[in-house]
Amino acid sequence: MKIGIAADHGGFELKEQLITYLKPLGYEVEDFGAYKLDASDDYPDFIVPLAQAVAAGKLSRGIAVCGSGVGASVAANKIAGARAALITEHFSAHQGVEDDDLNIICLGGRITGYVAAEELVLAFLRAEFSGADRHQRRLEKVRVLEKENLN
Ligand code: RB5
């Protein structure tokens, strides 16, 4: 499975940790930066290219990290086809995929510890969209919204 990961300075250390964790498990991980810790960098510069690659189908899933996870989710969700959410507990990590076809998990590098983040990411990556009619119907309503708000 090819996935992408991106972070600003607030998420940089967790990003590096997750790459180290995921590669031996067989995930092909594309790193969208930041490539060094720079306290003055801005999360949209890394999160938006990641979200665009996920929305374009170049990656199966994305992991977006900032200090709180909030800015990452705000930025990622501006991209049509990106379905991003800040995740802090296990249930939503998989149910967000199963019901809402979540394709980007957002994490707070200053909020969620390494081991908890690893477990959340695995639950997210291993989950599959159910494809149930009611979930397809709801997603189609989201897609209509995206088309109406083309920018
Ligand atoms: C950066 O200091 C911090 O504001 C950012 O990483 C993130 O938490 C924004 O939501």
**Inter-residue contact 54 to 62 (CB < 8 Å):** yes
pTM higher than the cut 0.95: yes
Kindly give the distance from the C-alpha atom of residue 11 to the centroid of ligand 1, in angstroms, as a whole number.
8
Atom of ligand 1 nearest to the CA of 71: 10
**Inter-residue contact 61 to 93 (CB < 8 Å):** no
Q: Residue 44 to residues 59, 124, 136, 141: CA-CA distances in angstroms?
A: 18, 22, 29, 26
Give me the average pLDDT of each 10-residue run along the chain (151 residues).
98 98 98 98 98 98 98 97 98 98 98 98 98 98 89 54
pLDDT of 151 reads: 54
From 8, 9, 15, 74, the mutation candidate for ligand 1 (largest count of ligand atoms within 8 A of CB) is 8
From 15, 37, 43, the mutation candidate for ligand 1 (largest count of ligand atoms within 8 A of CB) is 43
Kindly give the distance from the C-alpha atom of residue 66 to the centroid of ligand 1, in angstroms, as a whole number.
5
Best CATH choice for the domain 2-148 from the list 3.40.1400.10, 3.20.20.140, 3.30.360.10, 3.30.9.10: 3.40.1400.10
**What Rg do the C-alpha atoms of the chain give, in angstroms?**
14
How many angstroms separate the CA atoms of 71 and 17, rounded?
A: 20
| Residue of the CA atom closest to atom 5 of ligand 1 | 67
pLDDT of 54 reads: 98
| Residue of the CA atom closest to atom 4 of ligand 1 | 67
pLDDT of 71 reads: 98
Pocket of ligand 1 (CB under 6 A): 8, 10, 43, 66-68, 70-71
Sketch the domain layout of the chain as residue ranges: 2-148
pLDDT of 149 reads: 75
